[in-house]
């Protein structure tokens, strides 16, 4: 379903998985099913398990005996694999971020282009919305979110502007939020600043960083030796975590070396240099512009 989401770095990511026709693979971000369909084409007796916490993704599920769809957050990867009596898998694909569908559906509240309710929940069964955050969080907590998850310039100014505004009116819609922060968002960098503020709220609503950390930690246990982990990120926060876990085996990027000075890590890098979309892909799909693809392979023997 191309109108739902155009898969980013499709050929490069599928090639990175190094698919065996009888292997077991996991697509933890099913969405429109673009990556999943391509994986399925390469399987004969293999299995593909796909995760998506958004109810609407169910509409895109392919009719295939080789396919299992799990309507849940990928942070429960290990739990569901155990439930399916699957001990190890040969590859995991994660295309992080927000699908085109979410940005284009005005009522979901993912885009500041529509004046709509500040929702931003990937899973609409969850209670916390973006409007709850801007109306209830303390100035200190708001500052922390904008600084950490949005890398917003002068995050305290944005937080204080929201707090000042909500003393008179609740911040329930995009229009309310834009009005609240209007004086502290520089006109020159307006689009970029708003994108960062929205990103920070979305990450907080969906606990995206926590879920990614859970996934990366679990991948070390569930991947077969030489099993591949393929991750597409869209901002530096995600990319840093993926890069560090692939290279060092921890999120902090701290080298852990053996007696001989060799790095002790569960992964070896398949692509030493990060893969980015071609000019042609960016032209076809402008949302792919910030995508970065990293591929790692589970070591056969993990020293330490």
Query: Are β-strands 267-269 and 89-95 bridged in parallel, bridged antiparallel, or unpaired?
Result: unpaired
- pLDDT given for residue 243 in this prediction: 97
* Domain annotation for the chain: domains and CATH numbers: 10-100+208-298 (3.40.50.150), 107-206 (1.10.150.170)
pLDDT tens digits along 256-300: 998 998 888 999 999 989 999 999 999 998 889 999 999 999 998
* Residue 122, pLDDT score: 86
DSSP string, 165-200: HHTTS---BHHHHHHHHTTTS-GGGHHHHHHHHHHH
Mean pLDDT computed over 166-187: 94
Q: Enumerate residues 6+ apart whose C-beta is below 8 A from 191.
A: none
Question: Which pLDDT tens digit goes with each residue over 184-208?
Answer: 998 888 888 998 999 999 999 999 9
pLDDT bucket at 4, cuts 50 / 70 / 90: low
pLDDT computed for residue 303 by the predictor: 43
pTM: 0.91
pLDDT digit string, tens, across residues 55-84: 888 999 999 999 999 999 999 999 999 999
């Amino acid at each position: 379903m191309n109108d739902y989401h155009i898969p980013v770095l499709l050929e490069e990511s599928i090639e990175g998985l190094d698919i065996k026709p009888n292997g077991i693979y996991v697509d933890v971000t099913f969405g429109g099913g673009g990556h999943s369909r391509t994986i399925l084409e390469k399987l004969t007796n293999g299995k593909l398990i796909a995760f998506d916490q958004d109810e609407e993704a169910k509409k895109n599920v392919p009719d295939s005996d080789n396919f299992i769809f799990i309507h849940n957050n990928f942070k429960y990867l290990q739990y569901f694999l155990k439930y399916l009596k699957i001990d190890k898998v040969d590859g995991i694909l994660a295309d992080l971020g927000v699908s085109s569908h979410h940005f284009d559906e005005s009522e979901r509240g993912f885009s500041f282009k529509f004046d709509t309710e500040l929702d931003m929940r990937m899973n609409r069964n969850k209670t916390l919305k973006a409007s709850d955050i801007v109306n209830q969080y303390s100035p200190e907590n708001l500052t922390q979110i904008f600084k950490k998850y949005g890398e917003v310039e002068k995050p305290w100014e944005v937080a204080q502007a929201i707090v000042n505004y909500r003393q008179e009116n609740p911040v329930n819609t995009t229009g309310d939020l834009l009005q609240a922060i209007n004086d502290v968002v520089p006109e020159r960098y307006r689009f970029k600043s708003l994108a960062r503020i929205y990103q920070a709220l979305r990450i907080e609503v969906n606990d995206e960083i926590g879920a990614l950390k859970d996934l990366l930690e679990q991948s070390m246990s569930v991947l077969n030796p030489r099993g591949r982990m393929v991750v597409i990120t869209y901002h530096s926060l995600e990319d840093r975590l993926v890069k560090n876990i692939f290279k060092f085996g921890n999120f902090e990027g701290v080298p852990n070396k053996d007696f001989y000075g060799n790095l002790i890590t569960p992964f070896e890098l398949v692509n030493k240099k990060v893969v980015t979309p071609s000019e042609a892909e960016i032209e076809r799909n402008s949302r792919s512009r910030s995508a970065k693809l990293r591929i790692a392979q589970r070591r056969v023997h993990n020293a330490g």
